[in-house]
Amino acid sequence: MTPLQVGAQTFQWGSRTYLMGILNVTPDSFSGDGLLSRAGGVNAALEQARRFLAAGADILDVGGESTRPGAQTVTPEQELERVIPVIDALAREFPQAVISIDTYKALVAEEAIRAGAHFINDVWGFRADPGMALAAARHGAPAILMHNRSKPANAQVLEHLGGRYVGMEYDNLLEDVKRELLNSVAIARAAGLPDEKIILDPGIGFGKTVEQNLELLNRLDEIRALGFPVLLGPSRKSFIGYTLNLPPDQRLEGTAAAVAVGIVRGADILRVHDVEFMARVAKMTDAIVRRAKI
């Protein structure tokens, strides 16, 4: 698989697991880590980024809209007000850092890239905004294309455990997910984005039941076999909470188990909240399955 050069960072797929640290510039993150719920949002983001980078994060993922089941959508203008000051500050404070913008809106993606972002992380895989693929191709930005069948009607929210999806029907879970991911790849290709700048995300937690998420995680190698690097985002997700009957702030061990299995099944990038802990899990798992240097 062709290595990806992004700024000063070279991603050698298969050599080790890369870590993406989550910077939620929102007031309503499902995991309780929304930086806008704290005083001094930009300074809080810089401090969290500093911790993440020191712990080994390879990418900082900045998002301005919560995607939890039942969350309220925000306008592009609201999203820009949240993310651009943070991305601008990150780019100035950490010039060597690789920054990702977590958005499905082309306007937000373009402004974020101008402010210093390198990656586009689209939870709708270029299917929500027709301009997204063109924006990525125009700027030569690597794109993470996620599978997503989220439907508000299928969202169920319990006070203790948060939101999950129920009654999600697939003809064949893995085949449906693969086909729809390849549809996103086709959109990217048609816009002129080369394959070496495409990363796939199976969309753990997005329009899948607890059981479907567990199956998808355990069969991640089938997504990897499509021939693209794979990002996995299991961190603190509801499938862990409903399996262990634990709220988001008590899902560290469940996330660690999902991370380890994900690496064994071929994940290239892990999107996580608890970078310090998951960096150790990834390093140990890499030492076992990839024989990475420790």
Known catalytic residues are: 237, 271
Would you call 261 exposed, middle or buried from its count of C-beta atoms within 10 A (0-12, 13-18, 19+)?
middle
Task: Classify strands 162-165 and 155-158 as parallel, antiparallel or unpaired.
Answer: antiparallel
Strands 269-272 and 18-24: parallel
